[in-house]
Amino acid sequence: MKSKNAVLMIILRNPGIAYDELLSKLAPNYSNINSARAVLSRVLKNFQVMGIVARKENRLFATDKGSVQLASEMKNRLIVKLNQAINAKNKVKEMDPIVQQLATLIARGKEDEGLLKIVRGSTDFFIEDLRQTHQALLKEIEHLKYLESVFLEQIHSLEAFDFNDIRRTELTPAMHRFIEKALEAAPATEIVMESDETLISRLSEPVEAKPKGTKATLSLAQTQKILNRLMSEPAPAKITFYLHPIMLQITGTAITITGPCQLLKKVEENTQH
């Protein structure tokens, strides 16, 4: 039924559409062009037998019967969706479908009085049901406001407890300064760089580091030189720098920095000065 309605709707919106153009509009909904062609051929054959679509010199037109049938099915679908949305058990927590279906009804009802007559006599709810849903929604909003305030306080508490935090951004000059400050703030005297062997070897050689497989131990100065290089030559693979308790991960121009919340905040403050 869905494919039939889709075909009929395209023909209604594009009177005189050619078969190939109709097929091209329908094809993206199928795994391949042959599947779309098979469905379209079957649907058009049925439509022509039933008098829903007429063909004139390879051009397709919807008949009056086709227009009436599609309108009826669309109205029935709207009624079913509206009733299901409003009578759902957890409707207050899932208001989007209700608002969307009511918006569709109101917009189409302004243009089609016949639709309103049909829907008015076919709904499984009363306006009072909507009023009660609105009151329940107001209570849910108040509850969410309470949860939001408590949740924010909890976030602040974890920040004060110095839980780990993260920054995700691009390797810009400003972020480069942030990294330099992070390197200076970290208590670690040695920094471990990890990546694939080829990249580790290529980055280690200019700074005279001695790699061991996929890792190399660096000084602060060596790390800063490598980071300077990565600013102009983005890495083709992920590189991780471990400088306890901070960890940097760089892939191309994307960078992720993790570490204690207070330390990262301090670094940000020093970067801005």
For residues 189 and 233, give the distance between their C-alpha atoms in angstroms, rounded to a whole number: 26
Average per-residue pLDDT in the chain? 85
Q: Is 14 left (phi over 0), alpha (psi -120 to 50) or beta?
A: beta
Confidence class for position 272, pLDDT limits 50, 70, 90: low
Confidence class for position 1, pLDDT limits 50, 70, 90: very low
Domain boundaries, the chain: 2-62, 68-125, 164-272
Which pLDDT value is given to residue 2? Answer: 56
Q: What are 87-92's contacts with CB under 8 Å, separation 24+?
A: 87/124, 87/125, 91/133, 92/133, 92/136, 92/137, 92/140
Confidence class for position 150, pLDDT limits 50, 70, 90: very high
CB 185 within 8 A of CB 178: no
SS3 84: helix
Average pLDDT (24-31) is: 84
Residue type, 159: E
- HSE, CB side, 13 Å, CA atoms: give it for residue 40: 23
Which pLDDT value is given to residue 157? Answer: 97
Low-confidence winner among 66-70, 223-227, 248-252, 265-269 (lowest mean pLDDT): 66-70
Q: What percent of the chain has a predicted confidence (pLDDT) above 70?
A: 94
For residues 2 and 43, give the distance between their C-alpha atoms in angstroms, rounded to a whole number: 11
For residues 158 and 27, give the distance between their C-alpha atoms in angstroms, rounded to a whole number: 52
pTM equals 0.61
Which pLDDT value is given to residue 23? Answer: 87
For residues 221 and 225, give the distance between their C-alpha atoms in angstroms, rounded to a whole number: 6
Q: Is the pLDDT of residue 9 over 90?
A: no
Which pLDDT value is given to residue 84? Answer: 85
User: Residue 140's CB: how many other CB atoms inside 10 A?
Assistant: 13
CB 242 within 8 A of CB 191: yes
Picking from 64, 57, 77, 59, the residue whose alpha carbon sits closest to that of residue 6 is 77
Picking from 111, 5, 2, the residue whose alpha carbon sits closest to that of residue 66 is 5
Burial of 112 (C-beta count, 10 Å sphere; 0-12/13-18/19+): middle
Which pLDDT value is given to residue 189? Answer: 72
For residues 269 and 105, give the distance between their C-alpha atoms in angstroms, rounded to a whole number: 53
**pLDDT top residue among 255 and 73:** 255
What is the fold, at CATH topology level, of the domain defined by 2-62? Arc Repressor Mutant, subunit A (1.10.10)
pLDDT digits (tens, 9 = 90+) for 159-176: 999 999 998 888 777 777
Which pLDDT value is given to residue 74? Answer: 67
Low-confidence winner among 82-91, 105-114, 148-157, 258-267 (lowest mean pLDDT): 105-114
Residues of 229-245 as b/e, b for ≥16 C-beta within 10 angstroms? ebeeeebeeebbbbbee
Average pLDDT (249-272) is: 84
SS3 186: coil
For residues 268 and 273, give the distance between their C-alpha atoms in angstroms, rounded to a whole number: 9
